[in-house]
Structure 1
Amino acid sequence: MGQALLRLAPEQAAVRVVAVVSRDPERLSTVPGVHRLAASELVQAPDFDVAVDFSLPDGFDRILALCVERGAALVSGTTGLEPGQREALARASGGVPVLWASNFSLGVAVLNDLVERAAHALKGWDCDIVESHHVHKLDAPSGTALTLGEHARQGGTEPRYASLRAGDIVGEHLVQFTTLGERIELVHRATNRDIFARGALHCAVRLVGRPAGSYRVRDLLD
């Protein structure tokens, strides 16, 4: 994701990357005018308006603390956070704008909304979520499937899950509502991982300047 963000950032006229941070910064592309920092050097980062974080749980605390200290916004797609880290994120939202999401596809953000609305309207229908990914993906159900399931619950329906691991599938999520004699299918298919980096950059641009608070991708679609 780091390499994709660097490659795609020039597409956004409002984005100027000032630093990249990694456990192994030498592996990252060299970009003129952009500081390359090791994770241990994070506090040396120049001034920034928003941080985009796709790291690991053990790196999340430091970037969150730096954003709070500097009054900067945070966009994070780091998964596997502990309950205490989620609580820290909620506390931080009292002082800075923050957005955490398991999936930064703009299409998935719309799908979440559609699933919640369908679940609310179709009381008593069966709800099944089927997700498909490449053979190397370890977690199942996927974080996106679980988020879709949470939206189904918010609509009043308890979902069931099924997971497939095959070939090089980037990501496919099917949410199916079924009753006697009819069925509704809501599907999102990702064919390129760049959509997640583009979505994160889209959100980063629109999060800057917002009031402190906790945001969702769908809050920043416009």
Structure 2
Amino acid sequence: MRTFSYTMCIALLTAAALHGQNTDYTAMRPYEAHATAVMGQVTRSRDEQPWVLNSGERVPIRQVITTGADGYAHFEVAGGSSFELFGNSRVIFRQNAASPEDLLDVLGGRVRIHLQPTIGQLQLRVFCPVAIITAHQPATIALAVDEDETARIDVLEGQVGVQHRLLPRNEPVLVKAIDAVLVQKDQPISHRVERGSLYRYTVKILSTLTFGHSATHSSEPIEEGKFLAQSYGWHLRQAF
């Protein structure tokens, strides 16, 4: 119990420090992701081979970033955007090099993303197997992609448009702060959003910060848009 509390406090303090620091985005190289914090097992692809990623390194475009069960990484991008990977997650940074508006492809796991469109950018986009998420103004989202590619999108700040990638329609579903939608392969996106989901997702994120625990969804599936947060209540009690 004490080990968990100590580890959790370190992780939370690190995250707070990252959000509180003054980053000089103008000094950052365009189209690279700067790893400002790395803990546990984190790798990036290079010449199709995984290489250990350390704090301070820069990740070029089209590289795959992967975290192990105990992994965590925070990245800053020129212009003010950022993203965090929690345990057992996998993303591709700027897979479409021809489009600077396409920031991240989330292949699996849990990721928190801050989208900050810059001058000259009409939008920023995030992709996952079943959805396209678009922000025209600053927004922060938490994205969880399950093993069956079901995706849950929680909007923490601002608002985003969510469009089904496999069942496209003309107008994306607008999701505002503290709301969430569930996107499944064979079903249209419901216009019903689930209010109050932020608490449940926060509990889920805290569980991924428990080093040595898997962040896969195999034992904790998404069911009808509801995370099984009740079973994680002890994490909050032990962490604070």
Structure 1 length normalisation: TM-score? Answer: 0.31
| Bigger fraction of residues in strand | 2
Larger RCO of the pair (alpha carbons < 8 Å, separation 6+)? 1
Greater C-alpha radius of gyration: 1
